[in-house]
Structure 1
Amino acid sequence: MEKNQSRKVYYVFSPWTRLFHWLMVGSIAVLFTTGLYIGNPSFLGNQGLEPTYAVNNWFSMEKIRFYHFTAAYILLAAIILKIYGFLVSKGDRLFPHFWTKKFYAGAWDTILHYLFLRPRHRPYLRNSLARASYAGLYFLILIEIATGFAMYFGINPHSGGAMLFHFVGYIIANEYALHLVHHYVAWIIVLFAIVHVYMVIRDDLLEKNGETSSMIAGVKFFAEEPEDLRDIR
């Protein structure tokens, strides 16, 4: 820890989680954009062109699908990095402790602050609401991976990938429902991203704890010792 204008520096996030974060951001952006086109080639409006219209073949349906599947594999690789970070770094294990009273006390403390009923909340490396929301995001991403690969490998039902993701068919009734789940979960993830960006900017402006830069440098700044410091010690 070092002094920084009466604040202390706490190293929280490993390089693995930071790399995971930015790979996730980039891959999800590509997946969502290309997914919209794959699902509805005229979602930008009727241009009077065939859906396979391309500039030197860079934007043909074949290429768009290639970008989509490549981004999916990058996201899967990012998840593996996150799992590795979870195993080697305590700062990468800031998940919600639903089984503790401290989690609910922290959530209530943060809610009151966000509703402007309390001028500030206690300092946290990652507050209870953030922990729960990120856990929810990872769950949604796993749904996208499972449904996406189930559709991808479904074209060859005898392949190893099809057998690996065959269980999805027991959970979701038919292929049409599979597409719908994949589509709507993608929108939920995008809505999460919008709220996430707002909350990060808000935290940087009001709390000044280095929330944005923490995903670059891995550190946060606090004038008081964070309530959940023991989680990384």
Structure 2
Amino acid sequence: MSTAARPAASARPHPWSLGRAMPVRTGEYKWVYLWGLPLRVMHWTAAVAIVALIISGFFIGRPYFVRDFGETWTLTMSRARFVHFLAAAVLVSTALVRLYWLVAGNKFERFEALFPVRGRDLVNLVRMTKFYLFLSREEPHYLGHHPLQQLSYTGIYLIAVVEVLTGFALYAMADPTGPLGWALLLSSKFAGIQGIRWIHHVITWVFIIFIPAHIYLAARADVWEHGGTVSSIVSGGRFVPKDMHFVDE
């Protein structure tokens, strides 16, 4: 950890600002290393794969910019399917790395830091929810993921599992007896083919909503706490006040 002094500054609002001024912290800061290189690479690789899946998936579902359904359409659709399947394989690979890192990572990357299973995190989950709903000014401070993030990431991971299973099922429709036929059989027990397509499509919209919300909340924390939350997923660490108590320190 390294320390740095931050000069004092006034918290005057911008003359055109519609909200109240952001608090400006002063004093001694320390740099804390949080995210290892494998996790950071996995994060950005998964982000690119998800964007590629969304774009190619919408095209496969409705090839909106192809008017000639001849040879050109066939070639374009083949390329879109290739991109979609390749991105899916990359996403599954990053998930396998994340599963391994739940055991091999540091204390901010392991299982107990990602899922709100500890008593203190369950209590702080309520406190953090009140803070985000502007019902309380008290915020439990975490170096890594706070309980609300833990819960949301757990939820998005579980939703991603369903997305992958339904994707495998749709892929297996071309070869039901192939290596992914089990996914088609399993999914068909809970929903028909159209049901599988519908679930796959709806979950895509869940990711479309989650991505900007994730970026906004990370940027909000960065502006509010001045700690480099956004840049931490690039550099691996962030600055935090030396005199602040953190639950997971």
CA distance in 1, matches of 2:77, 2:221: 41
Q: Do the aligned partners of residues 191 and 51 (structure 1) sit closer, same or farther apart at CA in structure 2, a change above 3 Å counting?
A: farther
Which residue in the other structure is 2:88 paired with? 72
Alignment of 1:139-218 (within 5 A): 139-163=158-182, 166-170=185-189, 172-218=190-236
Q: Do the aligned partners of residues 21 and 64 (structure 1) sit closer, same or farther apart at CA in structure 2, a change above 3 Å counting?
A: same
TM-score normalised according to structure 2 size: 0.81
Choose 1 or 2 for highest CA Rg: 2
Query: In the alignment, which of 13, 17, 23 is matched to residue 35 of structure 2?
Result: 13
Calculate percent identity across the aligned residue pairs.
26
RMSD: 2.1
Q: Secondary structure at the match of 1:212?
A: coil
Contact 2:30 2:239 in 1 (8 A): yes
Deviation digits for residues 81-135 of structure 1 (CA, Å, limit 9, x no counterpart): 11122121132122223452x2232122222322333345121122110110011
Which amino acid is the alignment partner of residue 247 of structure 2?
A: E
Contact 2:56 2:83 in 1 (8 A): yes
Q: Do the aligned partners of residues 212 and 51 (structure 1) sit closer, same or farther apart at CA in structure 2, a change above 3 Å counting?
A: farther
CA distance in 2, matches of 1:104, 1:84: 25
Q: CA deviation at 1:23?
A: 1.0
Which amino acid is the alignment partner of residue 132 of structure 2?
A: Y
Structure 2 unpaired stretches of 5+:
6-27
Which amino acid is the alignment partner of residue 30 of structure 2?
A: K
Following TM superposition, the consecutive aligned residue runs of length 4 or more in structure 1 with deviations greater than 4 angstroms are 51-55
Which amino acid is the alignment partner of residue 44 of structure 2?
A: W
| Residues 217-226 or 157-166, more deviating | 157-166
Structure 1 unpaired stretches of 5+:
none
Contact 2:165 2:187 in 1 (8 A): yes
Deviation digits for residues 118-175 of structure 1 (CA, Å, limit 9, x no counterpart): 34512112211011001111111111111101111231111122136632322x2211
Q: Do the aligned partners of residues 111 and 164 (structure 1) sit closer, same or farther apart at CA in structure 2, a change above 3 Å counting?
A: closer
Deviation digits for residues 165-198 of structure 1 (CA, Å, limit 9, x no counterpart): 632322x221110000000011011111111111
CA distance in 2, matches of 1:72, 1:98: 30
Which residue in the other structure is 1:105 paired with? 123
| Residues 200-209 or 90-99, more deviating | 90-99
Choose between structure 1 and 2 for higher RCO, CA contacts under 8 A separated by at least 6 residues: 1
Which residue in the other structure is 2:18 paired with? none
Q: Does 1:27 align with 2:27?
A: no
Q: Does 1:132 align with 2:169?
A: no
Which amino acid is the alignment partner of residue 228 of structure 1?
A: D
Query: In the alignment, which of 112, 115, 140 is matched to residue 96 of structure 1?
Result: 115
CA distance in 2, matches of 1:53, 1:202: 48
Query: In the alignment, which of 222, 226, 231 is matched to residue 246 of structure 2?
Result: 226
Q: Does 1:41 align with 2:55?
A: no
